[in-house]
Structure 1
């Protein structure tokens, strides 16, 4: 039988067997105590983590230099005697150019030849075939093993990529062809397989659309960016690879475009928020690294603007924090509860998707006429403790080992999160509905006249003369005339299960086994689409 880690490919989890990782897991100094009163020039910290009380933290930690992941990009070794927000610790662990997980450890599983699904007997035989291909990567030696992971793009090529292409082409033909180019942006394109499969399909089935296609890849990894150029640009000259982070994107795309993010946001960094159970005041998590490389987690009042804006957005959208209803309603009960022996003074740690909020704002600012196609995990097993907590895992001697803490040696562990797609949809639609901040050049544009045919960015949009606002439509983009002539904007995004999406756009006959089973539909039950 195929190991669980491979059989449940979309979950990227492993058996619960724990193997000693003394060489790779830095000890986590997890302390618990009441809020310590310190002078005004020190951090005010709350360091309750595991609900039991022990030693107070080292006061020296409050004096450590506060750094970000951007500050550490030039470091060739993990830093010491520093402190940072949780999202910066995660970003440094995953993306540091010199020791980050994706820079040095991760290997994307690539099938040399596509599977012939129609010749495979049943799911058992399918699992055995995938296991055999995994085995071709060889046996791990001492130390961390090959960090092999793969996507449905690689496992079901070319049919997965063709399904996504059919989805986008259908929308493009309905709304923009032949008056606008077919512009696609993809982030985190991996080996470039998805782009290749999509472009091959478009060139084969829709040559007129292919002639108007511009495919842009935004890739943070220099190695993967070079690989994508080698794989794609000679075959498809319409491909442009931008080697930079999406969070540093600064070019506005005025044309209608499609933004593709397949299994990308699960590796977006999160912050930790906990609530004082007496006052319900939120606290932000801060990770410190001492002179020996050991970690500690402390909690301070929220000062980070991104965390603060996420909390405000959540309140506006009526997404409740993970606190029991009784505690929220009764201050008397909160006082009684927190005075119980060994009662925690903070709520359980909650991982909040602050970097995901940054992505949504980037789309609103630089891609005002985009349509987002996004897919990722909606749930995960073997997560560490906490609300919306990630899976932290590595491979050791050909076995994938899940961990129970985030505080592990930078660069050796994958850290990936589930996504609440319904809350993501609410956040996304709200962000898109906000006025786009004007650039300096736009502020200097001449004022519109009564003869102007296009509304100014400050206008109320194309719905000014109409009271018709369907609930499933966004407000029109300011300054953009509706191609249909209707005073309504783009259709709002909806959430689909993996199976629902593939039944709509995939050629399911190509991935059906001889038994009638279809792994393209049955394997990815914990994955959803936003489109």
Structure 2
């Protein structure tokens, strides 16, 4: 691991470091190793560490634990005695991957609830989505699903198998599109889903998406956003002014944090939107102000990790999927996180054990960097974005005249969007009727605990152990859903 210099705030950063050219993760994608004498925003440093196509963590080292194919080879829950035996069964699946090398980081294997509880976890997602589709859109609209970061393709396979068996009339109208940044995983998904002709795998980053989907659709992001890059903001303890963080790589390959007043458009947009919510700014309490006035205290607050990539995704959903419904799940809290507000866990696998470290300034490709999400804050920011007015090309391309078969008028919906407003619902997309013929907007999203969501949509008998325990409910208590 590279030596890290964690500089305290100074009014003028090192002239040499500050003079290095500013690069982005997209620029670094052309490099086969981390260059020196460059600087980048914290989000680009993290993005490059995780996703660089030549040496990134997910490109070269990460492996998703598999328990067999999508429909078989999983756990026989009814014949497992109790939760202790289930933990042992998971450990055995890890052992089946073989021993780690004696020198250096081992294979970076990680598991997801989709894989551990297949096909039943995916069937719960399918039940949630198809219930909403049957209630609102069938038979007037196709069932269109987008999934970002589909891993081994297991979730898609479980959803589509469920639809094919339980709802054949819906399956006939289903289009499933996967947006996958990893070329290797895209090939694996195509192979796993080759028996479903309704699937299209698109090998690109969701942040490069430019195609508009005007039809109602469902957007799925499970176990994805925890690895979305964050920026690092620190606040001046006297003026409260926010400072963005950039990382400079010196000639010897060492990392240095540099701070300057926020001028990056994405960081600025996120901070403005966050300020519109009822959530207080981090490190604004009286206790923090008291600590900041202690002699020899640093000039800047501890790090605030802001989810700028997540914010970018939400604005893209607003622009390119205006009639979408979002199903999102991930960690709401994490143990052993590094210092800071909403800080990540940074860890690597070594000799069969996961080893956490105390900084995100680590050698690219060897460490997983994953973040918790404040789901209540995420919901409020998401809804702020979704109720905002379209602008620019989005407003110009708005399609008028997409009428429901039940509609009795062909006039503009401009007046309708003003007369039909319901508390707890977004304003409707102007010019677009719902399946009922009324201009009723999509309802606001809700946050659910992992247990609440699965208790509503899952067949819990399928994952109950002989002891009566249900690991699908008992595990992942630090996970939430937004839907």
Q: Is 1:84 the counterpart of 2:19 in the alignment?
A: no
Q: What residue in structure 1 maps to residue 342 of structure 2?
A: 388
> What RMSD, in angstroms, separates the aligned Cα atoms of the two structures?
2.0
Question: Would you say how many aligned residue pairs link Structure 1 and Structure 2?
Answer: 473
1:400 correspondence with 2:354: yes
C-alpha distance in structure 2 between counterparts of 1:192 and 1:156, whole Å: 14
8 Å contact from structure 2 (residues 157, 193) kept in 1: yes
Q: Deviations over 1:85-131 (max 9, x none)?
A: 00000100000100100000101100121101011110011111111
Which of the residues 211, 215, 229 maps onto 1:269?
Answer: 229
Residue of structure 2 aligned with 1:188, choices 134, 149, 152: 149
Partner residue, 1:309: 269
The TM-score, its normalising length taken from structure 2, stands at 0.94
Distance 1:365 1:454, change over 3 A: farther
- Match among 286, 296, 307 for residue 353 of structure 1: 307
Q: Give the distance between the partners of 1:181 and 1:483, measured in 2 at CA.
A: 12
Q: Please tell me whether the aligned partners of residues 9 and 300 of structure 2 are also in contact (alpha carbons under 8 angstroms).
A: no
8 Å CA contact 2:400–2:431 kept in 1: the answer is no
Cα gap change, 1:408/1:238 in structure 2, threshold over 3 Å: closer, same or farther? same
Asked whether the 8 Å contact 1:105–1:411 carries over to 2, the reply is yes
- Please list every run of 5 or more consecutive structure 2 residues that lacks an aligned counterpart in the other structure: 402-407
Aligned with 2:25: secondary structure? coil
Secondary structure at 1:70's aligned position in 2?
helix
Structure 1 residue 151, shift from structure 2 partner: 0.7
* Structure-2 residue corresponding to 1:52: none
| Matches of 2:243 and 2:113, distance apart in 1 | 38
The Cα of 1:471 is off from its aligned counterpart by 2.0
SS in 1 for 2:377: helix
Once residues 413 and 253 of structure 1 are traced to their aligned partners in structure 2, the CA distance between those partners, rounded to angstroms, is: 36
In 1: Cα distance, 2:301 partner to 2:132 partner? 45
1:527 corresponds, among 464, 479, 482, to 479
CA distance in 2, matches of 1:254, 1:121: 49
Instruction: Give the counterpart of 1:72 among 24, 28, 38.
Output: 28
- Whether the aligned pair in 1 keeps the contact of 2:225 and 2:330 (CA below 8 Å) is yes
TM-score normalised according to structure 1 size: 0.86
Aligned-partner SS, 1:65:
coil
Tell me the residue number matched to 1:28: 4
Distance 1:453 1:149, change over 3 A: same
Q: Pick closer, same or farther for the CA change 1:211–1:385 going to 2, 3 Å.
A: same
Aligned pair 1:154/2:115, yes or no?
yes
2:234 & 2:79 partners in 1: Cα distance? 52
In the TM superposition, what whole-angstrom CA distance separates every residue of 1:67-99 from its partner, at most 9, and x where no partner exists? 000111110011111101000001000001001
1:438 is displaced (CA, Å) by: 4.4
- 2:285 alignment partner in structure 1: 325
Aligned to 1:373: 327
Match of 2:59 in 1: 103
Partner of 1:489: helix, strand, or coil? coil
SS at match of 1:260: strand
1:473 aligned residue (425, 433, 452):
425
Q: CA deviation at 1:342?
A: 1.1
Q: How does 1:119-268 map to 2 (within 5 A)?
A: 119-141=79-101, 142-233=103-194, 235-268=195-228
Q: Deviations over 1:224-277 (max 9, x none)?
A: 1111111112x1010000101111100000111000000100000100111111
Aligned ranges for residues 413-428 of structure 1 at < 5 Å?
A: 413-428=367-382
Greater Rg over alpha carbons, structure: 1
Residues 502-527 of structure 1, C-alpha deviation per residue, up to 9 Å, x if partnerless? 01110000000000000000001000
Question: Which structure 1 segments of 5+ residues have no match?
Answer: 1-24, 37-44, 46-57, 329-333
The answer on whether the counterparts of 1:454 and 1:481 sit within 8 Å (CA) in structure 2 is no
